[in-house]
Structure 1
Amino acid sequence: MAAANNPGAPDHIGTTTQPMFVISEAPVIEGFTPSSRSREETFQEKFKRKTKENPFVPIGCLGTAAALMYGLRAFKQGKTRQSQLLMRGRIFAQGFTVVAIIFGVFATAIKKD
């Protein structure tokens, strides 16, 4: 009767609420197959697997880092010509790395189909 007089008062005082639905198993998503791995990969395992899948990406990254380091060293020593050449090499290595990443993505997409 109090709820009828007061429209803002809850009318379920003293009752417990049950969930609307209970999920007993994982949902099935069409076109998706769950990973067969039973445990998480460590960073080293994932790095080795990814390097085997596309070895040109780490090579490009190392080339980029090396050109940058030597270019900065040459710049600090005042060797402007050598520094400019190494910075151009760094740009080339970065481009190589981006192309390797794109190629790896397309190769993986084609391989899974």
Structure 2
Amino acid sequence: MSDNPMPSSFDGNPEFKEETAGQKLRRRLREEPLIPLGCAATSYALYRAYRSMKAKDSVELNRMFRARIYAQAFTLLAVVAGGMYYKNERQQRKEFERALEARKQQEKRDAWLRELEIRDKEDRDWRERHAAIEAAAKEAAKGGPRPAPAAAASAMASDQSRTAEAPVEVSEEKKKGGVLDAVKSLLSGGK
């Protein structure tokens, strides 16, 4: 199974790519130029009707209202015809956008899980260091040998550098359990 959830029919197809709102508007205007033309004609007829009403020219007013109706009918016809003509392409584009959204959601989820793994590892390392410090403090309280301060500081520094560089082992995480396992069980539905 491929890591890419995008259907293979979209691979390499220059028609289907991620686009901004402006690019989408320009593409739609190129595909269906009659719709904006009908909207402009309707607006012009309404403007002329308004001017006729102000001038109290009822003949021109009625003529412009009829022109508005014709322009709206033209626009509606252009919308229906364009919808029928571009039906298949729109379905393919919706499928592409759903697949693209699913891929983005998966990437976001993976990044979130990686962050949780890192935080879980840091938490476990902190607990181990804290337990070691407590054990050393108890030994010191009993009168046992004290570790050298420089050696303790270098041990803590090496732990921190190891935390930043070491890859997280999933099998170790499952053995110890933690926040990551709880989140994974929530996401998988408690399986």
- What TM-score do you get using the length of structure 2 for normalisation? 0.38
Match of 2:21 in 1: 42
CA deviation map 1:77-100 (0-9, x unaligned): 100100100010000000000000
Q: Which runs of 4+ in 1 moved over 4 A?
A: 25-29, 110-113
How much identity, in percent, do the aligned residues show?
28
Match of 1:69 in 2: 47
Structure 2's unaligned 5+ residue stretches are 93-191
Structure 1's unaligned 5+ residue stretches are 1-24
Distance 1:86 1:105, change over 3 A: same
Q: Which amino acid aligns with 2:54?
A: K
Normalized per residue, the structure richer in helix is: 2
- In structure 1, how many angstroms separate the alpha carbons of the residues matched to 2:17 and 2:88? 22
Structure of greater Rg: 2
Q: CA RMSD in A?
A: 2.8
Aligned residues: 85
- In structure 1, how many angstroms separate the alpha carbons of the residues matched to 2:77 and 2:6? 36
Match of 2:164 in 1: none
- What TM-score do you get using the length of structure 1 for normalisation? 0.62
